[in-house]
Structure 1
């Protein structure tokens, strides 16, 4: 077999069952074009995606901290590349982004709380009471729930991307080639 078993579905082959999602988030990124091989899953995924991406109690920057760390822990080039670009778009400096991808000691205290929680989810599959308290102090109990959901959400996406060998979207790859991540 050559190429991915489940390549991104182009517009010409877009599933009729997902016509109403065409032109929105589902056709904006290849990860969702891959997920469209299972239309029912993509449809069910949409409301959770809206919450995790747009309505999170973490706020845009701490959400990106969680996503960047999750992508790094998974070894997902796709998630890493996409979220470096997204973090830059919301004003995060390259030095901060690079620190999130490195050792906890190199991060600000706020980023370290979120990244350490992501690490605990990967390493121990749970947050101990002290970590829960630290996250709640930072983003409240709603943020604690959203952090756990964000890691799970992106872990599922990252696993699909890695399993199906989904390449980084061309526009994102070009943006990173033009401006590689360089700590300031």
Structure 2
């Protein structure tokens, strides 16, 4: 039997990596521009949807008004609330790259947001994520406060980020996507705002 370090990189999920020859050119091209993470291989089984899904994801990373910091705060909060260690492992490294501090990361990890010393707008964002996931809407006061703090465009983008990463977490869980040896964050291109997804 190979050592544990070698076994970690061998996909042992419910869905093996797809045969590249069975994938559409669009899916193969999208995969070529992404880190070699097991989650992308799993999602590529949805061949017709994969390239559009990655285009949506890239737009939320690269082009949205929602700042990289706020995006990653939302993803970390989502990952913890839905119990996705896979997403957490990858995005905690991205979070560090966009300036999220260790105290803030620890506070989200522990579910003790008061310990994180978050700015007011960031705290409103983090507090909204459970409402997005559990009730699909915030109450009127929370909605107004968040809209006033970050603007309606960023609020809608925040909904898309939370919904997208909750959906990906569900796929990861149901397909038993194998953990990667290290975060794909280290394979990403960067610009002045931080890591960019896709090439």
TM-score range with shorter-chain normalisation?
Answer: 0.7 to 0.9
| Residue 47 (structure 1) aligned with residue 32 (structure 2) | no
**Structure 2 residue 4 is the aligned partner of structure 1 residue 4:** no
SS of aligned partner of 1:72: helix
Can you list the C-alpha shifts for 1:73-116, whole angstroms capped at 9, x where unaligned? Answer: 11001111111111112222211111123223223233321111
C-alpha separation in 2, matches of 1:53 and 1:14: 28
Aligned counterparts of 2:22 and 2:97: Cα–Cα separation in 1: 29
TM-score (norm 2): 0.77
Residue pair 1:57, 1:139 contacting (<8 A) in 2 also: no
CA distance in 2 between partners of 1:52 and 1:70 (Å): 15
| Partner of residue 156 from structure 1, selected from 128, 151, 167 | 167
Which of 24, 29, 32 is the equivalent residue of 1:23?
Answer: 32
CA distance in 1, matches of 2:147, 2:59: 19
Mapping of residues 12-161 of structure 1, within 5 Å = 15-17=23-25, 18-25=27-34, 28-101=36-109, 102-107=111-116, 108=118, 109-161=120-172
Q: Is the 8 A contact 1:69 1:115 kept in 2?
A: yes
Instruction: Tell me if structure 1 keeps the 8 A contact 2:13–2:178.
Output: no
Closer/same/farther in 2, CA of residues 47 and 88 from structure 1, 3 Å limit = same
CA RMSD of aligned residues (A): 2.3
Cα distance change on mapping 1:29 and 1:3 into 2, 3 Å: closer
Number of residue pairs matched?
171
Structure showing greater relative contact order (alpha-carbon pairs closer than 8 Å, 6 or more residues apart): 2
* CA displacement at 1:14 relative to structure 2: 6.7
Structure 2 residue runs without a partner (length 5+): 1-10, 187-199
* TM-score, normalisation: structure 1: 0.83
In structure 2, the CA distance between the partners of 1:113 and 1:14, relative to structure 1 (3 Å rule), is farther
